[in-house]
Structure 1
Amino acid sequence: MTSSAKKRTKPRSVLPGFGLSLGFTVFYLSLIVIIPLIGIVVKTTGLTPEQFWKTVTNARVLASYKISFLTSFFAALVNLVFGLLIAWVLVRYKFPGKKLIDSLIDMPFALPTAVAGISLTAIYAPNGWVGKLLEPLGIKVAFTPLGITLALIFIGLPFVVRTVQPVLQDLDHEVEEAAVMLGAFRLRTFRRVVLPELIPPLLTGFALAFARGIGEYGSVVFISGNMPMKTEIAPLLIMTKLEQFDYRGATAIALVMLVVSFLLLLLINYLQWRSNRRVVTT
């Protein structure tokens, strides 16, 4: 059979307009995502390699990187645990006020980040409702990395809950019941039957919460105190350089954050792919 005959007999796609929709998708992603990111790289090329290295390795810049990445990591880690617990309760149990609690999970999505930051600062400041109770115990939340982590936990929780919740709803309960009937304890059933199915969405939720935390500004800028070398986050330092009209320095810091974030998300996606492959093969 000739190649032209093969082309004529090739079945057409069930969904029409693939070429047009693919072209629109590539155009839209290029316009909204790729071109702005390329703009960061192009703007940074105005610096010499020595100037770029001196900018991104400045002690104040390195301290802001450390604050941003560490607080985002620990906040995402906390949300990984408690997000799973909340999703489990919402899916597996019925209780009064369940729909209200389920709707409150999405509150950080709708609430302006500045409002969240002001509210958390008012509550956890030394003269706040909770802060004045923690102050005699020697626990200071506001204007410390702990306060930043708390703000990132607040804005990152919905990402874990909403990625795990649908998977929990679709799990077959009969498999769990069969494992229990065969003599497996509840903890072993969860570890061997349920948890492998939840690892991919948990990694996805962790990645989303972590990425959101790295770039968060509004909810953190109030509770952090913005003290250089102590509680200054990288997005705030970028804003500071923009206000000083140091556009190249701001883009250099942003480029480093972009590269590190991309590598970390790539690693998390690789781990997610490995876990998905393991679940399919078993």
Structure 2
Amino acid sequence: MKKRKNVLPGFGLSMGITMLYLSLFILIPLSMIFIESSKLGWGDFWQVVTSERVVHAYKISFATAFAAALFNGVFGLLIAWVLVRYSFPGKRFIDGLIDLPFALPTAVAGIALTTLYTENGWIGQWLSLIGIKVSFTPIGITLALMFIGLPFVVRMVQPVLEGLEREVEEAASSLGATRGQIFRKIIFPEILPALLAGFSLAFARGLGEYGSVVFIAGNMPMKTEIAPLMIMTKLEQFDYAGATAIAVVMLVVSFICLIFINFLQKWSQKHILQED
């Protein structure tokens, strides 16, 4: 039987370049993490990654990254909704501000947030009056991760909202559907995959964030120490195997979390198609 040719020419060359690029810049560097950490041996590896200080750093990193991504999911959706559905003075300026965390050096963001939220800062001094301390606490870490993760959610949801057909909403309204029902039954199912994608990107970005967090966290062991800081500490001590061991755990757990989120995204897309 004669093999059917691909309609699009150049697949073999394109695929080869793609795999070469992925291998050079993603697969090989990631594999080196596993190779370097294997120098410890299983016993030493387990001792490093399960030490009380490192485990607590894992908990802080994953908890704050998840909380920040969750907040960004809610408020990112709200911001995208306002930017798409309403017209007001300064709209383009606000839309441009959304991308500022991408351009701003993370260290600058960390210093700015720390200055604002310390007990004698512009905002922190008022929060301290009601007993809320932000800087040098997990709350401050979450705040920093919300700052750097917000654009991911907004930029994922915004184009989907722009592409929704208003006629469908108008038809539902003419049939007696309330605004809440229109949002739950028509709008939200359409934007859910994009919202989950933005959540996963913000979560992944928060797990690896260092520059904006290190200043506002205070880096107190067993309190506000994050996993990326533990990796940097190991590197400064020339303990490369120990640093890569912590990185391996972060990489594996992050990969599992992202697979689960992607599964939810695929499920939501399939559910929408079945309803249609």
Correspondence for 2:86: 93
Distance 1:135 1:91 in 2: 37
Pairing of 1:125-274 with structure 2 (within 5 A): 125-274=118-267
Distance 2:183 2:6 in 1: 44
**Which structure 2 segments of 5+ residues have no match?**
none
Is 1:47 aligned with 2:40? yes
Q: State the Cα distance separating 1:239 from its structure 2 match.
A: 0.2
Correspondence for 1:13: 7
Is 1:123 aligned with 2:116? yes
Q: State the Cα distance separating 1:47 from its structure 2 match.
A: 1.2
- TM-score, normalised via structure 2 length: 0.98
From 248, 268, 274, the counterpart of 1:275? 268
Correspondence for 1:31: 24
Count the aligned residue pairs.
275
The residue type paired with residue 124 of structure 1 is Y
The residue type paired with residue 132 of structure 1 is Q
What stretches of structure 1 move > 2 A for 4+ residues in a row? none
The residue type paired with residue 230 of structure 1 is K
Distance 1:87 1:102 in 2: 9
Distance 2:272 2:87 in 1: 29
Q: SS at 2:40's partner residue?
A: coil
Distance 1:211 1:94 in 2: 32
- TM-score, normalised via structure 1 length: 0.96
Distance 1:48 1:12 in 2: 48
Larger Rg: 1
Change (3 A) 1:241 1:171: same
Q: State the Cα distance separating 1:126 from its structure 2 match.
A: 1.0
Cα deviation, 1:80-103, whole Å, max 9, x if unaligned, reads 000000000000000000000000
- State the percentage of identical aligned residues: 65
Distance 2:242 2:65 in 1: 23
Cα deviation, 1:74-126, whole Å, max 9, x if unaligned, reads 00000000000000000000000000000000000000000000000010011
Distance 2:23 2:6 in 1: 28
